[in-house]
């Protein structure tokens, strides 16, 4: 069996897990998340840990994937996930208009981005954006969508980049 699937998921205090025949839902202080449970995979909750097991060998890889997703769900509803973005470039700035994010990225018009349900977007400074939420996949998707409006270019490094991302710079053409 997969090494990932064998490892139990530690349950944090204040997190409740509800296992039904087709759905596993995780509830905590930051919200509630649920995922469809494939047939043939068994989820057992023993006090402060959760263990997964597969009915046959063909489901072992899927069991490891489901275990990783459930571990991320437990972490998300207890502490949450965060992704930071930086705006690099003259005149590039981000401001909040209510719940919407307004981006000035060198286009002739500002870009308005409405945050989906379960996601909180903050702009502490004009060149920083912080995306937070309980769902790791949705936080990453929203951050990637915002970054996609003006990805960093390799010559000057201008654009929207992740705070921990390093841009590999190219040398300009020489005459």
Q: What is the pLDDT of residues 127-168, one digit of tens each?
A: 999 999 999 999 999 999 999 999 999 999 899 999 998 888
Q: 170 and 162 in contact (C-beta within 8 Å)?
A: no
Quick one: pLDDT at residue 10? 86
| Biggest CA-to-CA distance, the chain | 70
All domains of the chain in start order, with CATH: 3-78 (3.90.930.12), 81-162 (3.90.930.12)
On average, the pLDDT of the chain sits at 89
**All residues at 6 or more sequence positions from 124 whose CB lies less than 8 Å from its CB, including other chains:** 130
- DSSP one-letter code for 106: S
Query: With left for phi above 0 and alpha for psi between -120 and 50, is residue 132 left, alpha or beta?
Result: beta
pTM of the model as a whole: 0.86
- Torsion angle of C-alpha atoms 99, 124, 129, 31, degrees rounded to 10: -60
Give the model confidence (pLDDT) of 51-78 as tens digits: 887 888 888 888 888 889 999 999 999 9
């Amino acid at each position: 069996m997969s090494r990932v699937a064998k490892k139990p998921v530690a349950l944090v205090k204040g997190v409740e897990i509800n296992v039904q025949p087709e759905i596993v839902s995780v509830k905590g202080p930051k919200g509630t998340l649920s995922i469809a449970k494939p047939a043939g995979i068994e989820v057992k909750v023993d006090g402060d840990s959760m263990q997964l097991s597969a009915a046959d060998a063909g489901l072992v890889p899927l069991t490891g994937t489901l275990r990783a997703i459930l571990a991320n769900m437990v972490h998300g509803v207890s502490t949450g996930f965060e992704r930071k973005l930086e705006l690099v470039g003259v005149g590039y700035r981000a401001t909040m208009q209510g719940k919407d994010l307004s981006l000035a990225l060198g286009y002739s018009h500002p870009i308005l981005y409405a945050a989906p349900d379960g996601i909180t977007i903050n702009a502490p400074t004009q060149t920083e954006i912080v995306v937070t939420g309980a769902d790791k996949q949705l936080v990453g998707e929203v951050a990637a969508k915002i970054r996609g409006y003006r990805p960093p270019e390799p010559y000057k490094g201008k654009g929207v980049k992740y705070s921990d991302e390093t841009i590999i710079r190219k040398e300009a053409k020489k005459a």
